[in-house]
Amino acid sequence: MTSTPPKALHPDTLAVRAAVPRSSYGENSEALYLTSGFVQPDADTSARRFAGEEDGYTYGRTSNPTVTSLEMRLAAMEGTEACMATSSGMSAVMLMCFALLKSGDHVIISQSMFGSTLKLIGSEFARFGVQTSIVPQTDLDAWRRAVTPQTRLLFAETPTNPLTEVCDIAALADIAHSAGAWLAVDNCFASPALQRPVEYGADIIMHSGTKFLDGQGRVMAGALCAPQTMVTEKFLPVIKNAGMVLSPFNAWVVLKGLETLGIRIQAQSAQALALAQWLETHPAVARVHYPGLPSHPQHALAMRQMSGVGGAVLSFEVKSDSPEQGRVRAFQVLDHLEVMSLCTNLGDTKTLLAHPASTSHGKLSETQRQAAGIGQGLIRVAVGLEHLHDIRTDLERGLSLIA
């Protein structure tokens, strides 16, 4: 359940203010309505609410005022009419596919999508007759060539994990719309503070609230931001029956996280840029992937699309003569950390490092991994708010053993 926020206010203001009205107690911080059911004033009202003829809360699998506040706030920040919160980022993907696709439909996704997204759409939905084409992230002609008369959905993620490849949202929206399909964008890495895909023509914005929206590594959450009719007519009927709802407690945590999203991601991105520049000159480092660096293949596009900021996630490859040596050296860097965390999450105020080749991309064969550009020496850094000097010192402990 959502209502359109006042459009006159800046998204930064709505990030702090958009919510359901205060209760009669006048609380200043948004209330946490930790309840599964709602008492109905009378049987007639109850009947109208259940028939969908009147707004009003009935049961937690349909809606909850704290969850509504999060939905209003995130929709306002993304610039969409409405939003539907879900229990995790992956349940948002599942809700979207469940609600929009049927057997015989065709989807196009990039080969650089989040691993679980690739598996859920490419394998699980294939069991129900949904066909999927998997194309290179930045090759617009490949996206165009993959379109069939059955294509209903193009789904992109930008920047991607962990190589930070950037795709042109406006160009993909054109391809989708001329095929009569929707464009969905996973906006997890940039967040609405840096990138608002609707402004480039995207129809649906998918989020893992687990990452930058919470921002402090506390809860799982997800969301789909979309036009009001899609939320009301497509997503709501499915989530009501399928039950991938967000808990009010988690909604409240993310709601409060959104208030500081803008300043967090600006500060973390500034640190990421400084770290990327330092790593690029480091003798033990072969390559740095970061959209804010001029050496990034889609640097100009990224700067245009992401408010001139590269985001808070980068990855780098340690120098090595072989994949085996790359793995040993990457492990050496990770095992010498004394401050930062070895943790596959991202979007936290704590800096988190991960070794994609043995974790998120661990199930690929060495050949598939090479094709995906995920070397054994690759390390992902999701930059947090520790002092930059301490971040560099923590990395240098292991890197100095290589150079």
Ligand X SMILES: *Cc1c(COP(=O)(O)O)cnc(C)c1O
CB of 312 to ligand X, least distance (A): 12
Nearer to ligand X, 379 or 399 (CB): 379
State which of residues 62, 63, 68, 88 lies at the interface with ligand X (CB under 6 A). 88
State which of residues 80, 137, 151, 161 lies at the interface with ligand X (CB under 6 A). 161
3 state SS of 152: strand
State which of residues 75, 109, 156, 188 lies at the interface with ligand X (CB under 6 A). 188
Contact window for ligand X (CB under 6 A) among 100-108, 184-192, 271-279, 369-377: 184-192
In whole angstroms, what is the distance from residue 334 CA to residue 89 CA? 27
* Residue 89 found at the interface with ligand X (CB under 6 A): yes
**CA-derived radius of gyration, the chain:** 22
In whole angstroms, what is the distance from residue 43 CA to residue 211 CA? 42
Residue of closest CB approach to ligand X: 89
* Residue 211 found at the interface with ligand X (CB under 6 A): yes
* Residue 222 found at the interface with ligand X (CB under 6 A): yes
* Residue 361 found at the interface with ligand X (CB under 6 A): no
CB of 3 to ligand X, least distance (A): 26
* Residue 195 found at the interface with ligand X (CB under 6 A): no
In whole angstroms, what is the distance from residue 130 CA to residue 302 CA? 32
Nearer to ligand X, 165 or 168 (CB): 165
Size, binding site for ligand X by CB under 6 A: 15
In whole angstroms, what is the distance from residue 204 CA to residue 335 CA? 40
Give the number of other CB atoms < 10 A from CB of residue 27.
Answer: 10
What single string gives the DSSP state of each residue in 27-77? -SSPP----SB---SSHHHHHHHHTTSS----BTTT--HHHHHHHHHHHHH
CB of 86 to ligand X, least distance (A): 9
Task: Answer whether 317's CB lies under 8 Å from 286's CB.
Answer: yes
Classify residue 120 by its DSSP letter: I
Nearer to ligand X, 117 or 247 (CB): 117
Which residue has 């919160």 as its token pair?
85
Q: Which residues bind ligand X (CB under 6 A)?
A: 88-90, 114, 117, 157, 161, 186, 188-189, 208, 210-211, 220, 222
